Structure formats: structure tokens, C-alpha cells
């Protein structure tokens, strides 16, 4: 995974004062004289980009994503990435604890929060690479629609109930590591109760227009 993202120190001027800040730069594939090539790319940092599309940067690692849409786990949050028939080695959260959870039944991996930055994308790419069956997928944008996102959201009570039950199941597990990590499922419940609604509305706008909404755009209703 090395080389996808690097950092440099830059001088940023804010409010008339100069500040030194670490900025991530990435490489992206572009077309130009002499054919396609890779160039440095720094994502906007001014707060105007409400939806950050991770796919241009994930494309070089697409071979690590061989999961099938028909086999995706129902708990995956809508977005480009999801877990399907993954292994049960429980390695995902070692790399991407803010994005990956395990099914309590078999320990397969799914994505409960989509990446919003290059650093978060790197973590999820590492999780997918470490997964032995290449059971993650990154073609969610080709399948989700605003209507199916609304349908998924309408079933969120089922998700929340599952998170509560999974917490209880792991707390009573005979496996010490599961008892110690039983609280991880509450992260999903907290996300559903918090910023998930806004994230999904922004994603629906992206699905409808294939661009990030601006602060002045009206987001589609979620229901």
C-alpha cells in the first residue's frame, strides 16, 4: 500500500496568519500529452467538498476487491465499499477500526462507515488487502440508488436492534477477546443515531448528480 498517500509540510494562510500544517498528497491517474500518467493531487481543504469520492485513488487496488454485490452483508452502510463473503480472521479492525465491524454470528467483516479522507481510505484498503478471500468490494456506486438508500435507511431499527443484541452476545461469550470487545457494536448504533443520516443524504446527492453537493445545494430527503 505504500505510495498511495504521502505527506508534506506546507504554509497555510488563515485570517492573515501563517500556519504550518501537514497536508496529505496523493497520486491520481490523469490523461494528457503522451497518454495516461500519475500526478500528485491534494484534495480541497476549504470545507466546500461535502462528498469526497475515494474511487480514483482506490482504482489501483481494485484487484483486492473481489466481493460480489449479491453476497454483500445486509449490515453494510450504503457507499462504494462493502464486505461480502470475507474470511473470519477478524483482521479488519486492526487496520480500519472506524470503518469495519464483524458479524456476531460468524465473524465476517462489513463496512459500517465509509471513508471520507485519504487517510481513512488507506486504512480500509489495508483491511481489504489483509482479508484472505478478497471478499471486500468497491463497486457500490454501480448498484446503490437514492431509492435503495432510502429503503436501507427505513430498516435501520433492525440494524440498531442487531447492534444491541450483538453487544449482549459478545459480553456473554466464552471467548475472552469477544468479551473485551463487546462494546464495538455500539459504535454502529451511535453512528446510526448521529451523523449517518447526513452522510447518506450527501451520498444520495452524489449518486444522483455524480458530483459533491455544495453548501448551497439542497440535499435529497432520506425519509
Contacts of 215 (CB under 8 A, 6+ apart): 48, 50
| Domain co-membership, 37 together with 131 | no
Q: pLDDT (tens digit, 9 = 90+) per residue, 69-102?
A: 999 999 999 999 999 999 999 899 999 999 999 9
Total domains, the chain: 2
Domain of 22 in residue numbering reads as 5-41
Query: Is 200 a domain residue?
Result: yes
SS3 breakdown of the chain: % helix, strand, coil, rounded to 5? Answer: 40, 15, 45
Which of 20-29, 68-77, 126-135 shows the lowest per-residue confidence on average (mean pLDDT)?
Answer: 20-29
Same domain, 22 and 74: no
Going by pLDDT thresholds of 50, 70 and 90, the confidence category of residue 168 is very high
Instruction: Indicate if 120 and 205 belong to the same structural domain.
Output: yes
Assess whether 78 and 169 both reside in one domain: yes
Domain-embedded: residue 102 = yes
Amino acid at each position: 500500500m505504500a505510495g498511495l498517500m504521502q505527506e508534506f509540510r506546507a504554509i497555510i494562510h488563515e485570517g492573515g496568519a501563517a500556519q504550518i500544517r501537514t497536508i496529505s498528497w496523493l497520486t491520481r491517474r490523469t490523461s494528457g500529452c503522451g497518454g495516461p500518467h500519475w500526478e500528485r493531487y491534494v484534495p480541497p481543504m476549504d470545507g466546500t467538498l461535502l462528498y469526497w469520492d475515494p474511487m480514483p485513488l482506490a482504482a489501483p487496488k481494485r484487484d483486492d476487491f473481489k466481493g460480489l454485490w449479491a453476497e454483500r452483508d445486509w449490515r453494510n452502510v450504503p457507499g462504494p465499499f462493502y464486505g461480502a463473503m470475507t474470511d473470519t480472521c477478524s483482521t479488519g479492525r486492526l487496520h480500519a477500526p472506524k470503518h469495519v465491524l464483524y458479524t456476531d454470528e460468524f465473524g465476517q467483516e462489513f463496512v459500517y462507515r465509509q471513508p471520507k479522507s485519504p487517510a481513512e481510505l488507506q486504512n480500509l484498503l489495508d483491511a481489504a488487502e489483509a482479508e484472505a478471500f478478497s471478499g471486500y468490494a468497491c463497486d457500490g456506486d454501480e448498484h446503490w440508488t437514492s431509492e435503495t438508500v432510502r429503503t436501507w435507511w427505513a430498516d435501520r431499527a433492525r440494524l440498531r436492534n442487531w447492534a444491541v443484541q450483538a453487544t449482549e452476545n459478545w459480553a456473554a461469550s466464552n471467548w475472552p477477546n469477544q468479551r473485551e470487545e463487546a462494546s464495538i457494536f455500539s459504535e454502529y448504533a451511535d453512528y446510526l443515531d448521529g451523523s449517518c443520516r447526513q452522510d447518506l443524504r450527501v451520498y444520495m446527492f452524489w449518486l444522483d448528480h455524480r458530483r459533491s453537493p455544495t453548501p448551497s445545494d439542497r440535499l435529497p430527503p432520506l425519509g
